[in-house]
Amino acid sequence: MSTAMNLSFHFPVVCVGSISKGISNWPSNVKISGSALKFTKLVDFTCRTRRKHRSASGMHICAQVQDSSTELKEEAVDRLQGTLHGINYHHPDAGTNGYAFFMPTLSLIGVGSLNAAGGQISELGFKKALIVTDKVLVKVGAVNSLIKVLDQIKVEYVIYDGTEPNPTDNQVDEGLAVLKKENCDFIVSFGGGSPHDCAKAIGVLATNGGKIHDYEGINKSKNAMLPLVSINTTAGTAAELTRFSIITDTKRHVKMAIIDWKVTPTIAVDDPTLMVGMPKSLTAATGMDALTHAIEAYVSTISNPVTDASALHAMKLIRTYLRDAVNDGKNLKARDMMSYAEFLAGMAFNSASLGYVHAMAHQLGGMYNLPHGVCNAVLLPVVQEFNAKKVPLLFIDIAEAFGFKVKEDADLAVKLVLEEIRSMSKDVGIPKNLKELGVKPEDFEELTDNAMKDACGFTNPRVPTKEEVIQLFRNAYEQ
């Protein structure tokens, strides 16, 4: 069984018990959770399979129980190898600390949820907001819906609209300067992932000082960031609810991953009516981003029962509704379900983290300023084909979420999943490969060096060598 990897998570914390402690430390009498039956110490834990098991290691495991009845042996194996997600053990042993996950203090979800945001913002008691958004959303009048809400509750505001796709350290500094000059006491981000990420970075600097480069990595800040209300207009990044902020370092031309529970927004708002006007290309890119979040979280080495459930249902919704949302942007049901899906996928990766799709995509975005969701979509089947060699049984679950009936055929599951990812990408207009995006093969080594430093890669189920990452870039270039 896998070694426990425990993280400290932000409020609210949901803990799920585990009986696993590592075979060498099992007590002489073990009680299976949910059962009144007890059995003596497990004396063997091997790959001599009696029942198929979807484990993170890809092994089929048989537990041999000493001095117990046949029925009790069957129960022990069934519970250890359970196939219902949320109670199985494909994720790591929880050790002695259980499982937990991050979420905003409050999330408002569904049609009309922006209308409820005013009352919640008013309860915070703040006086002046820095609205972090982009020029396009200001120009088309989308931000007016937020301004109306703030006017109704008599909260002053000033707008910083300098955020661009793949927000930079310079934009963070510009936004912070506006916040200080205007004496804003909280922040409202309005838009997709770029305004939310920029707003988080501004918020953490407002209370901690320094430069945003100081906070690259995991949990580097000491103080909570300025309160942030994130109003989402895309169905993909989930930045409105996560502890991640991705900022481009303009000198190094790399994306910095700031992963810190103190940059989790105070309030997240996901109103699908704000997403109706999204163009097809943005709908496609953000939708494939959400799919990547769900799949990478599910195969992550630190997934847990709650993230599993969130990830699997997100996959089901995206496979069902993404094409409809792209083809008919006014289809409110498709928009609503994609908003729900991206939120679930965000719940999953916010605690289970991600993998090498994101670690590699961040470098493409940093070097070439390419759309993040598009990079993810191109890389997703290539990296998951690589991962499937380590965790093939998990692809049975993904295949089932996609609607395929594969029984226990892992090879068929992998084949169908990879085909469906490529089919979705093609149907929604994603470029076929990195070559079409203008990526240069001579940059693969530098891209690889930076990808191997990216914190998102730490939880990938298969640890690649440098040459393997370079080959993954080559595969994505040529596919």
With a CB cutoff of 8 Å and minimum separation 6, the contacts of 8 are 100, 261
DSSP state letter for 162? B
* Per-residue pLDDT tens digits for 369-403: 999 999 999 999 999 999 999 998 899 999 999 99
CB 374 within 8 A of CB 286: no
Dihedral (CA of 114, 148, 206, 167) sign: positive
Angle between helices 305-327 and 280-299 (to 10 degrees): 160
* 240 has a pLDDT exceeding 60: yes
> Three-class SS of residue 401?
helix
| Alpha-helical segments (H) within 101-245 | 113-124, 135-139, 144-152, 169-181, 193-208
With a CB cutoff of 8 Å and minimum separation 6, the contacts of 472 are 356, 360, 379, 382, 383, 386, 464
Distances 42 to 2, 75, 204, 437 between C-alpha atoms, Å: 16, 13, 49, 54
Using alpha carbons, select from 432, 468, 475, 478 the residue that is nearest to residue 448.
468
* Per-residue pLDDT tens digits for 253-278: 888 999 999 999 999 999 999 999 89
CB 235 within 8 A of CB 275: yes
Share of the chain above pLDDT 70, in %: 80
* Per-residue pLDDT tens digits for 57-86: 333 333 343 444 555 445 444 434 444 333
* Per-residue pLDDT tens digits for 122-153: 998 999 999 999 999 999 999 999 999 999 99
* Per-residue pLDDT tens digits for 399-416: 999 999 998 899 999 999
| Alpha-helical segments (H) within 227-299 | 280-299
Using alpha carbons, select from 111, 415, 397 the residue that is nearest to residue 275.
111
The token pair that represents 244 in the structure block: 């991640």
CB 46 within 8 A of CB 60: no
Q: In the beta sheet, which residues pair with residue 134?
A: 162
Place of tokens 């109704």: 152
* 50 has a pLDDT exceeding 50: no
* 476 has a pLDDT exceeding 90: yes
Q: In the beta sheet, which residues pair with residue 159?
A: 131
Cβ atoms within 10 Å, residue 93: 17
Query: How far out from the chain centre does Cα 417 lie?
Result: 19
* 317 has a pLDDT exceeding 60: yes
With a CB cutoff of 8 Å and minimum separation 6, the contacts of 429 are 280, 281, 284, 326
CB 201 within 8 A of CB 259: no
Dihedral (CA of 279, 284, 286, 290) sign: positive
Q: How far apart are CA 240 and CA 189, in angstroms?
A: 8
* Per-residue pLDDT tens digits for 268-314: 999 999 999 899 999 999 999 999 999 999 999 888 888 999 999 99
Instruction: Give phi and psi for 18, each to the nearest 5.
Output: -140, 145
Query: How far out from the chain centre does Cα 32 lie?
Result: 32
Q: What is the structure's pLDDT at 98?
A: 75
Model confidence, pTM: 0.81
The token pair that represents 238 in the structure block: 């989930």
CB 245 within 8 A of CB 189: no
Q: What is the structure's pLDDT at 474?
A: 98
The token pair that represents 125 in the structure block: 């008691």
DSSP state letter for 321? H
Q: How far apart are CA 271 and CA 314, in angstroms?
A: 17
With a CB cutoff of 8 Å and minimum separation 6, the contacts of 33 are 17, 19, 79
Q: How far apart are CA 85 and CA 108, in angstroms?
A: 26
* 452 has a pLDDT exceeding 70: yes
Q: Average per-residue pLDDT in the chain?
A: 84
